[in-house]
Amino acid sequence: MSVRRLAKEQPESFAFSEDTKAKAEWWIKKYPESRRQSAVIPILWLVQKQEGWVSEPAIR
């Protein structure tokens, strides 16, 4: 198993595009209120699709 590390150079911030934000909200609403954290992986996929990678600001 390999270990992945964050890139040394990170952007200052991250912002969802309108399309990505709408899709993220759809994923969040898909889960019951007590299980909304389950949407984290699909949302990270959306971030990667938008940016081409997942930066530290996007993770936060």
Q: What is the pLDDT of residue 45?
A: 97
Does residue 38 belong to any structural domain of this protein?
A: yes
Q: What is the pLDDT of residue 53?
A: 92
Range of the domain at 22: 18-51
Does residue 37 belong to any structural domain of this protein?
A: yes
Q: Are 50 and 20 in contact (CB under 8 A)?
A: yes
Does residue 11 belong to any structural domain of this protein?
A: no
Does residue 60 belong to any structural domain of this protein?
A: no
Number of domains in the chain: 1
Tokens of 49: 């699709």
Tokens of 7: 């890139």
Q: What is the pLDDT of residue 27?
A: 97
pLDDT of residue 47 exceeding 80, the answer is yes
User: Please, which pLDDT band fits residue 1 given cuts at 50, 70 and 90?
Assistant: low
Does residue 34 belong to any structural domain of this protein?
A: yes
Does residue 56 belong to any structural domain of this protein?
A: no
**pLDDT tens-digit series, residues 4-42:** 788 889 999 999 999 999 999 999 999 999 999 999 999
